[in-house]
Structure 1
């Protein structure tokens, strides 16, 4: 077994690579084994047992495989939270599960961001958690290696999404649309909202929203697939507030 292992490690060393037994949960070498691991080679698993001798300048690692996280912060713009984190080095890193918890609620999984495996170079990661309702939010990263080992990194401070302080209707985007576009609107209080689309003759084309909404910022989609190209009017009504804008549909 010694000769095969040495030849394999020499091959890896010539290629200037590191080989990780990443998918193994346990590696056990037989009694009286003589293991030589050369520079640039690592033997890693949840459990590594050598029933013999070990030599060489390579490494044997077992248990959780580390990621050095040097930075984890967040910023918010309106109701979007931008997360940023940086690693100084990674070993056997499958990736990061982004988790969020609203105050008084349980943790939920937001997304998974692929890691860089094994690297000694710094790596930067970004993710935007979009379209959140007003409230206080906590974030953490669940870093997982290829063996399933994991650890948590918590954001130091919660992120506060404030309630809007005014009514507002955005211009549709993209505009012109072909054939779909988005429309943002915001309300500063719980109120009945109606957003309807009309043609230039004043004929009702479709109703996009007709419901009571909590204070917050919202996005809706207008789909003009079954409509003719042209200019349309969309009207936003919330209590006594009313605003009207135009959108252009081009096919």
Structure 2
């Protein structure tokens, strides 16, 4: 029987022991337990292991994506449902990597019965066995007349130079501002908050994203968020609808806490988000057909229903 030993390296100290702030129902990844396990007989054989906790009832999933030299070697959706409040471990199957510098791991938690749509918490990423320089904890938009307030938070920053705020104009992303890091020397293990106000008179929906830039020029993107236009009513919007690629964007009137359910024509729950508290949501990987999106606002106790049509994927 083969023995596996944890591959220890200094970068492990960079994985913080706190849990990223997320929806209260979101599976909690315990960052300090992340490790690369090396086969004692063959050092090129590795496994990824981490612990997690399911805080509430309901369907939960965790996406585990492992790439070596840019090629996907593991892409699995782990069932994290059940055993509420119990700390559990997950370990991947073996994969081969000769140089850890070529290893990339992404761990993303979801509420619902699959790993599609918008995650309920920040993705934990590891490059070369260590985390990426920045972990986003939150990213939100709000509008007051022509002013769009773009806000985001980080819980970890390493060698960070700052953030480019980008807006999508007619399918083209453009930089509208650069916000320098608040971290001393580009490094921080504390929660830091950022904001930028964009004067945006667009009458249609606008999309935003944050590009985090390292001191050495490397970068990564946040998720994409959307905000309604200046002349659009404060109601839930779905676009494109119909969709020809299996993806739709949902923009809510505000960032109230909502319970959201996507149901197919047979009445089956396809995706579910509990205690979702952002003003936009992207739903991916839908097969052709008709769906019903139900959103229940916990504060106002009101429900909205939208029909969604997928004509291609």
TM-score by length of structure 1 reads 0.38
- Compare CA radii of gyration and give the structure with the larger one: 1
Q: More strand by proportion, 1 or 2?
A: 1
TM-score by length of structure 2 reads 0.31
